[in-house]
Structure 1
């Protein structure tokens, strides 16, 4: 089981994460979307494609652009389609 916590709250839990470049990508269905706010921020990975971001809102504390996903990943990265990864202080626990 892998869990993602931020600001003392579990925001994702899954037995089916995919690890890419050291990051756990959680299936979208295993992430609590109540804590996600859409962001206008985007970055481009040379091999995965264009990443979109979410800001976390946990107990009215924001963590800007702390979650990312690839809405239309490249063919090489299709395994992370419909998956979300975290950073910026989000704790990942492998139980």
Structure 2
């Protein structure tokens, strides 16, 4: 079962069948993400084929990992399967 872990806390976990893998990243479905550890960010980036990404900072026990999670609220048609799914980076460990 894939999990996203940061600062010894599981931030997201899902069955393999429920995640999406794109460009080497694991995208967790919205229902698999523990929202109490996410804080909205004003950061946005653009991918040529997926569209505009929005970001969350991950906060655990008072420590913040800025912009460590991203998602596509309105992806292109080519990336529709990852709509609102959350991926992680910046030290967030993905275990399988």
Q: Offset at 1:82?
A: 2.0
| Mapping for residues 14-93 of structure 1, pairs under 5 Å | 14-15=14-15, 16-93=18-95
Q: Offset at 1:20?
A: 0.1
Supply the distance in 1 between the matched residues of 2:71 and 2:60 (Cα, whole angstroms). 19
Ranges of 4+ aligned residues in structure 1 off by more than 3 Å:
none
The gaps in structure 2 that reach 5 residues or longer are none
TM-score (norm 2): 0.97
Supply the distance in 2 between the matched residues of 1:82 and 1:38 (Cα, whole angstroms). 13
Supply the distance in 2 between the matched residues of 1:28 and 1:86 (Cα, whole angstroms). 13
TM-score (norm 1): 0.98
